[in-house]
Amino acid sequence: MPLTTGQSFAGYTIVRLLGSGGMGEVYLAQHPRLPRRDALKLLPREWSADDEFRARFNREADLASTLWHPHIVGVHDRGEEDGQLWISMDFVDGLDAARLLADRYPAGMPPEDVVRIVSGVASALDHAHKQALLHRDVKPANIMLTHLDDKGEQRILLTDFGIARNINDISGLTKTNMTVGTVAYCAPEQLLGEDLDGRADQYALAATAYHLFCGSQLFHNSNPAVVISRHLNVPPPALADVRPALARFDPVLAVGLAKRPEDRFERCSDFVNALAEQLDSASASTPSTPTVSAPRATPSVDAEAGPSRRRRVAVAVTVAVLVGASISAAALLMRQSSHDQSARSTPTTAAPAASPVTFESMRDFVTSYYGELPAHPTDAWEKLDSQYQNQTGQREFVDFWATIQGDGSFGQPPRRQQRGC
């Protein structure tokens, strides 16, 4: 239950709720001693109950508190109160980029605004990377924009560094890792649980830039398994298809969104510098090609189709995410699928109350579903709820799973893929 105005927590006095979501709740709170108001973030209790996560959170919050940068929201304190972890940060009087996009620019921001925003974030990320700290959750909702001051200036700040992780302490795909990271912007290597460096944040920044440019996520879909599959296997959609005037940015985004880290820019600032070059060349009759020496050309689909580790474990990763981070999505599939089957078998009677969804029942559902794949896609299709079936289409579903080899490795991606926007 959310805290109420005037309530005390860890010595802070709650002023009001600023926002809430899967990452916890954020409050505006009065500092217990100083004449200052902070943003007080309370992490979900289930995370706080994990001893390993608690130790890592304390360690990384301490590291994040040492960061000082004009584009990073400062971390002041952290602790645990009544079995719940909390962290206090600078309060930013403004709104996040996701809200600005939804409220004012649903079809995409002006390109100069996008470049200005991601430039500030890139500077913050490069600074953190030099301190061996990764953010791992770069997205529009974590980019704060202050209201214009008396001089008409606006600050751009990257928040949530308190749940970042040390570069040397990132490996393995766990439920906590996937909960902390946002699938819509995750780099392929992060989804696969591979070792990460700053180029994983760069991928997320490029995915964020794409979202700001066109108003839609890179691989938008209500099913996280579909989003993950496309991050791993499908080339990024082109801005030219939805905002032709921004086609000049596509070559830069293609590098920042390369599937392999070694094919991306060396630093986040290199990525935004290339974007800025394209912005400056807007008056040119044809888009110029970014000229940076660090990344190689984005690999083609044919080059990526070979049996690599990334392809072989892709299916296993999707299952892991459905069981772990996307637990609610799997539960929803179970409930809706059960409801659909009941409706088809007894159309004139009320469906019985759904039995509680447990981890074991959800695990059995996911195991049964993927047990049909890739050999029997039609049988797997019948296990899905009607809403997902209507969104995907049986032919595309079957065609996609036809690209999966018997050993779980991917062949060519399906030819009929929806664009991200």
Between residues 73 and 294, which one has the greater pLDDT?
73
Question: Does 256 share its domain with 368?
Answer: no
Domain count, the chain: 3
- Cβ–Cβ < 8 Å for 124, 72: yes
pLDDT at 398 over 90: no
The predicted-structure confidence for 304-334, as pLDDT tens digits, reads as follows 334 444 544 444 444 444 444 344 444 444 4
Question: Does 187 share its domain with 238?
Answer: yes
Between residues 354 and 34, which one has the greater pLDDT?
34
Q: Which of 283, 307, 331 is the last residue of a domain?
A: 307
Q: What is the CATH number of the domain that holds 253?
A: 1.10.510.10
How far, in Å, are 60, 85, 131, 166, 267 from residue 56 at the CA level? 6, 12, 17, 9, 26
Q: What was the pLDDT predicted at 370?
A: 61
Q: What was the pLDDT predicted at 206?
A: 98
Question: Does 178 share its domain with 293?
Answer: yes
407 occurs within a structural domain: no
Unique residue bearing structure tokens 């202050």: 146
133 occurs within a structural domain: yes
Question: Does 135 share its domain with 177?
Answer: yes
Q: Which of 272, 307, 342 is the last residue of a domain?
A: 307
The average confidence (pLDDT) of the chain is 76
Question: Does 297 share its domain with 319?
Answer: no
Q: What was the pLDDT predicted at 100?
A: 95
d(CA 318, CA 367): 12
pLDDT at 377 over 60: yes
Question: Does 160 share its domain with 279?
Answer: yes
Question: Does 178 share its domain with 238?
Answer: yes
Question: Does 271 share its domain with 326?
Answer: no
Catalytic residue among 38, 77, 96, 137: 137
Question: Does 101 share its domain with 219?
Answer: yes
263 catalytic, yes or no? no
The helix-helix angle for 359-371 and 314-323 (nearest 10°) equals 150
Question: Does 141 share its domain with 82?
Answer: no
pTM above threshold 0.75: no
Parent domain of 36: 8-90
The predicted-structure confidence for 37-82, as pLDDT tens digits, reads as follows 999 999 988 888 888 888 888 888 888 888 899 999 999 999 999 9
Question: Does 64 share its domain with 130?
Answer: no
Q: What was the pLDDT predicted at 340?
A: 46
Unique residue bearing structure tokens 């766990």: 174
421 occurs within a structural domain: no
